[in-house]
Amino acid sequence: MPELKCGVVTCVHNKQNYCELDSIEVIGSSAQVSEQTSCGSFVERKGESYSNSSAKDASPTSDIVCQAVECKYNDSRKCYAGKISVMGSDASRTEETECATFKKES
């Protein structure tokens, strides 16, 4: 499982730059650059609830199902990068997030 660092602090699943989900989906099946990928598991955080009072702590690793098949780290829609970064610090929609680790297979 890759280490998953996530800068999308506007997502309900973000806990101090880690993701509380055990598994996320990255979308962008025809992506050629990282900007064309998105985190399909993003859910916008509403209201003022920026506290970290979740019962569950976020683990540093997550299973990643990835539709970005043009990425060199993608093998049968699983991510085999050692660590990935999801970016989009002020995202309010899935499209405003991206897998910054995407690298097109050369």
Residues that bind ligand SF4 (CB under 6 A): 26, 37, 64, 66, 68, 71, 73-74, 79, 81, 84, 99, 101-102
Distance CA 3, CA 52 (A): 20
Query: Closest distance between ligand SF4 and the C-beta of residue 79, in Å?
Result: 3
Distance CA 50, CA 53 (A): 9
Nearer to ligand SF4, 81 or 91 (CB): 81
Query: Closest distance between ligand SF4 and the C-beta of residue 11, in Å?
Result: 16
Sequence-distant (≥ 6) Cβ neighbours of residue 61 within 8 angstroms: 1, 2, 3, 4
